Amino acid sequence: MIELRHITKTYKMGAVEVHALRDVSLKITPGEFVAIMGPSGSGKSTLMHIVGFLDRPDSGAYLLGDRDITELGDDELAILRNRLAGFVFQQFHLLPRISAVENAELPLIYAGRRHLKEKAHEKMREVGLAQRESHRPNELSGGEQQRVAIARSLVNEPFIIFADEPTGNLDTKSEEEIIALLEDLNRKGKTILMVTHEQEIAARARRIIRMRDGEIVADERKRARRKKPVAMPQGLSIDAILSESRQTLAQAAFIDHFRQALHAIVSHKMRSFLSMVGILIGIASVIAMLALGQGAKESITKQLASLGSNLLSIRPGASQMGGVALEAGTVTRFTLQDADAIAKLTGTISRVSPSVSGRGQLVYGNKNWNTQVLGTGTNYAPMRAAIPAIGRFFTEDELRKRDKLVVLGTSVVTNLFGDANPINAAIKINRINFKVIGVMPKKGASPFRDQDDVVVIPVTTAMYRVLGKQYVDFIDAEVRDPLLMDEAQDAISKLVIKRHNLTKDRQDTFNIRNMADIQATLQSTTRTMTWLLGSIAAISLLVGGIGIMNIMLVSVSERTREIGLRKAIGARKKDIMVQFLIEAVLMTMSGGIAGILCGIGMSFLLALLAGWATKVSIFAIVLATTFSLFVGVGFGLWPARQAARLNPIEALRYE
Ligand code: ADP
């Protein structure tokens, strides 16, 4: 038994109150076919929405089976709609992008009864559309569409069918078909509540209720009651339905939500693709930028490691000039004699090598090459891991005689000699003849410069014959033991101060750096650079996320009626939310995966084209994947909530 007691419903439109229902009481027994008639605005739909669990009254009681259901919450009403009610609307409300039978299946999905899909086929046969199952709604006539809607309303074996002007959009022939179908259902025992304003249609019902201004003004039974009264459905216990549904709906098949989401994405290919591209660019640049930074860091570390961490470098100038240019004469300049003196600190220092550096124009045959010319001591080779791979380094004796001998870096060899053997060849450096005696081992490119684009000559030759310098640019000293580093630094400092008679205020006119410091500085610089690049990339990812959110919001408002329909047939808030979230996450994740692949590709391309070292780290990939997941959930959540909160009646009416 369905019983409404003293139901009222009032809408407030600003200051105006519209009394849609005033104190309506009504009993409907199982098996009845009731038509509600009345002029437009008389409250027919409002009444049907309340009886159909789509809306709640302001006051009064609604007794169904063993419960007053006005106390139930939104999700519980959704369960009742799903299990007990079937809806047939004037506008059919079929989802356009899925087949007829898939439309008929929808209520099963929200009932957690996907294993009963055979039911949908059975109902399609019942409404005479077995041959049309795989057609899309737009390939069906109006009458056929309404029959699909009826099949959908029947699929969960509801207790009562609600038909809101079911023939309002149909021609006479289809109208007859539909009304005959409803009559037939009623004969088989279904309770039917139908809103109509057509007298002939209403005449086919067994009972007609007339309404005016929110009140029932007439209630006539057209035909004799059934001989055999229809019983309430077996065990119509609202509590039992609710608790059973909670259990099955709890697992409301993820696969179905996933399919619906996938469908939505595929049916808007271009739009989905463009929003994925946003994420793709973001992720790809995060990966490539981090790879670039990581590569730079590793190559710097490797190069510095080959220098040995127990090297000290003594240079003119303050260690921290703070950007202020020092006047001439305020730096301490070093000579070869300083280097010799430092070498004599044998307690702490094992080897010393003075260096000068400048540019030189190389000529071999008809080939020219401009490169860095480095003049060094003989100890340079062992100290800087530069013992020639081919040939030899110059000796102490040759250095004293300022011999014109040169050891080439591999890039120089490639540029001047190609594949030919350069040993013993005669080349010119700044128009002076030199003999090639060796080739240095390959050091590899750093992000800043090519370390193999260099030639090494004796420091004396460089100063007095090639570059015309009187002072050395820096002196490298190797400390015997890393533990003696501070002591060595101290000893050198004292020696320099003494040799150059530096007064207290001029003691910062030279500086001693150790390689470990340089290493740390460089590494922190590259780390900063990596984060900088990474955060620029992250911003583009953020923009991509906002793009997804935008698309999802558009999608929600575009599919308002679809959401209304889903809710009417029993989707709960969670179902709608999950569907939209899956949609957002699917988009970001596929954009993300494509982005990772592009990012790796970009890193390789950068390495190949620009000659930069890059290294794609697992960390970057994990970071990017997690990030895109968060973007999807984060930016999908709000639109999904908006969708889930929609009121089903308003959503269905949305134009
Ligand atoms: P019927 O179905 O008989 O045409 P309704 O039940 O739709 O009538 O509406 C009854 C009255 O309530 C009408 O005056 C209508 O304008 C008003 N009404 C219905 N829904 C709303 C709403 N959501 N907000 C404000 N007024 C409403």
* CA–CA separation, 312 and 492 (whole Å): 10
pLDDT in the model for residue 322: 44
Q: Using the mean position of ligand 1's atoms as its centre, give its distance from the Cα of residue 601 in Å.
A: 60
Index of the ligand 1 atom closest to the CA of residue 650: 23
pLDDT-above-70 percentage for the chain: 92
Q: What is the mean pLDDT of the chain?
A: 86
Local confidence band at 534 (pLDDT 50, 70, 90 cut-offs): confident
Q: Using the mean position of ligand 1's atoms as its centre, give its distance from the Cα of residue 18 in Å.
A: 8
Local confidence band at 616 (pLDDT 50, 70, 90 cut-offs): confident
* CA–CA separation, 571 and 640 (whole Å): 14
Index of the ligand 1 atom closest to the CA of residue 49: 6
Local confidence band at 318 (pLDDT 50, 70, 90 cut-offs): low
Q: For ligand 1, which residues put their CB under 6 angstroms from it?
A: 11, 13, 18, 20, 38, 40-46
For residue 509, is pLDDT > 60? yes
Q: Using the mean position of ligand 1's atoms as its centre, give its distance from the Cα of residue 219 in Å.
A: 21
- Mind giving me the DSSP string for 243-310? HHHHHHHTT--HHHHHHHHHHHHHHTHHHHHHHHHHHHHHHHHHHHHHHHHHHHHHHHHHHHHHH-TT
Beta bridge partners of 209: 36, 219
Enumerate the H helices of 365-484 as residue ranges: 380-383, 396-400, 410-417, 459-461
CB 387 within 8 A of CB 395: no
Local confidence band at 225 (pLDDT 50, 70, 90 cut-offs): low
Choose which residue among 13, 19, 36, 45 to substitute to test ligand 1 binding: the one with the highest number of ligand atoms within 8 A of its C-beta.
45
Tell me the residue type at 635: F
Give the pLDDT mean for 628-642.
Answer: 85
pLDDT in the model for residue 506: 79
Give the pLDDT mean for 129-146.
Answer: 92
- Could you report how far apart the first and last alpha carbons of the chain are, in Å? 36
φ and ψ at residue 254, rounded to 5 degrees? -55, -40
Give residue for tokens 């919450």.
73
**Beta strands at 405-408 and 432-439: parallel, antiparallel or unpaired:** parallel
Most confident of 27-41, 58-72, 310-324: 27-41
Tell me the residue type at 208: I
pLDDT in the model for residue 323: 45
pLDDT in the model for residue 306: 63
Q: Using the mean position of ligand 1's atoms as its centre, give its distance from the Cα of residue 644 in Å.
A: 23
Give the pLDDT mean for 428-442.
Answer: 93
Index of the ligand 1 atom closest to the CA of residue 211: 3
pTM: 0.69
Local confidence band at 357 (pLDDT 50, 70, 90 cut-offs): very high
Exposed, middle or buried, 230 (CB in 10 Å: 0-12/13-18/19+)? middle
pLDDT in the model for residue 328: 45
Give the pLDDT mean for 411-435.
Answer: 93
What is the chain's length?
Answer: 655
Give the pLDDT mean for 623-651.
Answer: 85
Local confidence band at 192 (pLDDT 50, 70, 90 cut-offs): very high
- pLDDT digits 0-9 by tens, 88-126: 999 999 998 889 999 999 998 888 887 888 989 999 999
Give the number of other Cβ atoms within 10 Å of residue 94's Cβ: 25
For residue 456, is pLDDT > 80? yes
Choose which residue among 13, 46, 55, 646 to substitute to test ligand 1 binding: the one with the highest number of ligand atoms within 8 A of its C-beta.
46
Give the pLDDT mean for 158-162.
Answer: 92
Tell me the residue type at 169: N
Angle, alpha carbons 60-63-192 (nearest 5°): 110
**Which DSSP letter does residue 595 get?**
H
Index of the ligand 1 atom closest to the CA of residue 195: 2
Exposed, middle or buried, 114 (CB in 10 Å: 0-12/13-18/19+)? middle
* DSSP 3-state of 193: strand
Residue nearest ligand 1's atom 21 by CA? 11
**pLDDT higher at 516 or 458:** 458
- pLDDT digits 0-9 by tens, 57-84: 999 999 987 788 888 888 889 988 988 8
* DSSP 3-state of 568: helix
* CA–CA separation, 250 and 223 (whole Å): 44
- pLDDT digits 0-9 by tens, 372-408: 999 999 999 888 888 898 999 999 999 999 999 999 9
| Nearest of 257, 271, 255, 277 to residue 552 by alpha carbon | 271
Residue nearest ligand 1's atom 24 by CA? 11
Task: Give 300-303's long-range contacts (Cβ < 8 A, gap of 24+).
Answer: 300/446, 300/447, 300/519, 300/522, 300/523, 300/526, 301/519, 301/523, 302/444, 303/443, 303/444, 303/446, 303/451
Local confidence band at 189 (pLDDT 50, 70, 90 cut-offs): confident
